[in-house]
């Protein structure tokens, strides 16, 4: 230990001692966190993969008591900060070159969000939305751009994300089996917002089928995240060269499918179906796997119908949520017409919806199951609410991200390398799954799905730059994730 580290070590031990006296849990968390940080400090690859894994499996409501007498700090943001310090200090920067169109569109989207907040009725309170919808996703985008230089570099982080999706899917199956969510009931303190109503309203109601939330506060967010990794899983299954690899990815695919099925959400299930068809169109070798997967899904669903009872039909055929969604879209459209330039501000839909529906005589809303429209926080549609909250600049820049990403997907699919084509197809279909789910929910405010989307956007930008795999000695083995030819 150098002389300069002795005072630092003494200070840390003194701080831990103080924490142990006031809060033993804080002291343990501090010591464990520092130990993990020291281990990962010289290994940006490990830190990046640990970060991706943690963002998938850690509930957003999980908070850590770092400092005694102060409120707990969100675990996801704490992990983000530590990872940023490791990656930006220890990993080599990208070579200077052109600014990719996806980066430009992403930045323009962030500026549109910020403009909408600055011109809203409560700029300071809405800044949290900018952090959730842009600051964190663009940071993940920067992480990925810094470490992933080619499609070969993308395999390990994709496997890490897939592993996280498998675990939260299995947890969703367990949750559905026992009929309650231990994480939510033990870690998520009720806030009185719509997220509470989704879970606790379900727990208190009778005659409805239970829907799994897994690590999210909304079943659709959980389903969207898993559906975005599902095409990559099917692709790896179809292109696997060994029986062991085929078994591994087949198990992962069925786990993901089972987990999303327990949400009983039409959007994620349709997105998974479209993902399976899309990956089969690109790779002929995947088509038998897709057919088997779909047949097993249909057979399994049919076998469960007698056990689930009539509630399953009520869930999928209930017209009330569709009728209410159409009325909310009408509210969002009227809101957009009133504020087309900058919108009402990010997260401003809730504050303006009652005035808009009364002024435009929209309603009534007999479909709302508790009768309090003040609790409705979204328009249940990405594009209507995005237009209402951020206006034309936000809507155009949001669409521009997908257009530029689509161009990168087409460029990657033209290649002859199997790995590049798989990553391009998986990223493109994941973006489509994000949009499909966003047709019936406000997905751009969802934390985990938007992080995964920004990761895929960064993969496409890196592949499109056609750089060589990273060659830093600290990351040896990082680019060994190539696949054989189909």
pTM for the whole structure? 0.86
81/75 Cα distance (integer angstroms): 10
Report pLDDT for 453.
Answer: 97
472: pLDDT strictly greater than 60: no
Count of CB atoms situated within 10 Å of the CB of 191: 10
Radius of gyration of the chain (CA): 23
333: pLDDT strictly greater than 60: yes
Spatial neighbors of 142 by CB under 8 A, at least 6 apart, are: 458
21/41 Cα distance (integer angstroms): 29
6: pLDDT strictly greater than 80: no
Range picked from 210-214, 345-349, 373-377, 427-431 for highest mean pLDDT: 427-431
List helix spans (H) across 189-242.
Answer: 194-204, 219-239
Compare 135 and 309 and report the one with higher pLDDT: 135
Q: Give residue for tokens 């700090």.
A: 73
List helix spans (H) across 414-467.
Answer: 418-438, 447-465
Report pLDDT for 24.
Answer: 63
SS3 of residue 393 by DSSP: helix
Question: Average pLDDT of 359-373?
Answer: 59
Q: Which of 450, 449, 460 is closest to 424 using CA atoms? A: 460
442 to 1, 111, 347: CA distances (angstroms): 52, 19, 11
Spatial neighbors of 426 by CB under 8 A, at least 6 apart, are: 158, 231, 232, 235, 279, 456
Angle CA 461–464–469, to nearest 5: 90
175/70 Cα distance (integer angstroms): 32
Report pLDDT for 315.
Answer: 52
Q: If phi over 0 gives left and psi between -120 and 50 gives alpha, with beta otherwise, what is residue 264?
A: left
Name the pLDDT band for 314 (thresholds 50, 70, 90): low
φ, ψ of residue 416 in degrees (nearest 5) = -100, -10
Task: Check: CB of residue 59 under 8 Å from CB of residue 10.
Answer: no
Spatial neighbors of 413 by CB under 8 A, at least 6 apart, are: 282, 421, 424, 425, 428
Per the structure block, which two tokens stand in for 381? 């549609």
* Bridge partners, residue 63, by sequence: 74
Cis omega (within 30 of 0) for bond into 228 = no
Residue 96 CB-half CA count within 13 A: 0
Q: Which of 391, 400, 436, 410 is closest to 228 using CA atoms? A: 436
Q: Which of 382, 313, 319, 377 is closest to 349 using CA atoms? A: 377
Question: Average pLDDT of 43-52?
Answer: 88
Report pLDDT for 349.
Answer: 85
Query: Is 467 exposed, middle or buried, given 0-12, 13-18 or 19+ CB atoms closer than 10 A?
Result: middle
417: pLDDT strictly greater than 70: yes
- Tell me which of 92-106, 231-245, 341-355, 464-478 is least confident: 464-478
Query: Is 415 exposed, middle or buried, given 0-12, 13-18 or 19+ CB atoms closer than 10 A?
Result: middle
Report pLDDT for 66.
Answer: 66
Task: Check: CB of residue 27 under 8 Å from CB of residue 139.
Answer: no
Report pLDDT for 17.
Answer: 58
Question: Average pLDDT of 186-213?
Answer: 69
Compare 323 and 462 and report the one with higher pLDDT: 462
Compare 472 and 211 and report the one with higher pLDDT: 211
Task: Check: CB of residue 247 under 8 Å from CB of residue 292.
Answer: no
Task: Check: CB of residue 214 under 8 Å from CB of residue 175.
Answer: yes
Report pLDDT for 2.
Answer: 46
Size of the chain in residues: 486
Q: Which of 158, 301, 297, 160 is closest to 231 using CA atoms? A: 158
Q: Quick one: the chain helix, strand, coil %, rounded to 5?
A: 75, 0, 25
Report pLDDT for 207.
Answer: 61
Name the pLDDT band for 288 (thresholds 50, 70, 90): confident
Q: Which contiguous run of DSSP H or E holds residue 63? A: strand 63-64
Task: Check: CB of residue 360 under 8 Å from CB of residue 334.
Answer: yes
- Residue-wise pLDDT for 77-130, tens only, equals 888 888 888 888 877 777 766 789 999 999 999 999 999 888 877 666 677 888
3/8 Cα distance (integer angstroms): 10
Helices 219-239 and 418-438, axial angle in degrees (round to 10): 160
Q: Give residue for tokens 């699919």.
A: 413
């Amino acid at each position: 230990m150098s002389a300069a580290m002795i005072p630092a070590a003494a200070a840390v031990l003194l701080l831990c001692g103080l924490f142990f006296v006031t809060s033993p849990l804080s002291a343990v968390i501090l010591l464990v966190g520092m130990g993990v940080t020291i281990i990962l400090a010289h290994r940006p690859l490990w830190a990046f993969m640990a970060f991706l894994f943690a963002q998938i499996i850690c509930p957003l409501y999980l908070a850590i008591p770092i400092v005694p007498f102060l409120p707990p700090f969100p675990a996801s943001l704490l992990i983000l900060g530590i990872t940023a310090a490791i990656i930006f200090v220890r990993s080599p920067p990208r070579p200077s070159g052109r600014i990719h169109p996806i980066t430009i569109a992403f930045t323009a989207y962030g500026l549109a969000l910020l403009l909408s907040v600055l011109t809203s009725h409560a700029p300071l309170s809405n800044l949290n939305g900018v952090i959730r919808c842009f600051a964190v996703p663009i940071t993940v985008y920067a992480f990925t751009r810094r470490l992933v230089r080619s499609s070969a570099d993308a395999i390990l982080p994709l496997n890490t994300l897939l592993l996280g999706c498998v675990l939260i899917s299995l947890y969703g199956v367990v949750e559905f089996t026992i009929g309650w969510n231990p994480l939510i009931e033990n870690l998520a303190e009720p806030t009185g917002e719509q997220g509470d109503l989704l879970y606790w309203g379900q727990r208190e109601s009778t005659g409805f089928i239970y829907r799994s939330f897994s690590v999210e506060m909304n079943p659709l967010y959980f389903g969207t995240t898993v559906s975005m990794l599902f095409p990559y899983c099917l692709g790896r299954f179809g292109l696997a060269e060994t029986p062991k690899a085929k078994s591994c990815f087949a198990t992962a695919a069925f786990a993901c499918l089972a987990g999303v099925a327990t949400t009983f959400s039409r959007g994620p299930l349709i997105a998974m179906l479209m993902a399976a068809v899309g990956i089969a169109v690109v790779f002929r070798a995947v088509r038998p796997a897709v057919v088997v997967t779909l047949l097993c899904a249909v057979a399994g669903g049919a076998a469960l119908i007698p056990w689930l009872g009539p509630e399953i039909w009520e869930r999928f055929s209930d017209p009330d949520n569709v009728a209410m969604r159409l009325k909310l879209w009408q509210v969002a459209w009227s809101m957009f017409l009133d504020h087309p330039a900058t919108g009402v501000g990010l997260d401003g839909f809730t504050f303006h919806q009652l005035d808009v529906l009364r002024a435009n005589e929209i309603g009534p809303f007999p479909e709302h199951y508790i009768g309090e429209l003040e609790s409705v926080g979204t328009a249940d549609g990405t594009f209507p609410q995005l237009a209402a909250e951020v206006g034309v600049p936000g809507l155009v820049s949001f669409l521009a991200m997908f257009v530029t990403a689509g161009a990168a997907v087409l460029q990657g699919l033209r290649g002859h390398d199997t790995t590049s084509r798989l990553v391009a197809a998986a990223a493109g279909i994941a973006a489509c799954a994000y949009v499909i789910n966003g047709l019936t929910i406000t997905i751009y405010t969802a934390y985990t799905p938007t992080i995964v989307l920004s990761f895929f956007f960064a993969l496409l930008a890196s592949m499109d730059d056609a750089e060589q795999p990273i060659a830093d000695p600290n990351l040896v083995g990082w680019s060994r994730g190539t696949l054989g030819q189909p």
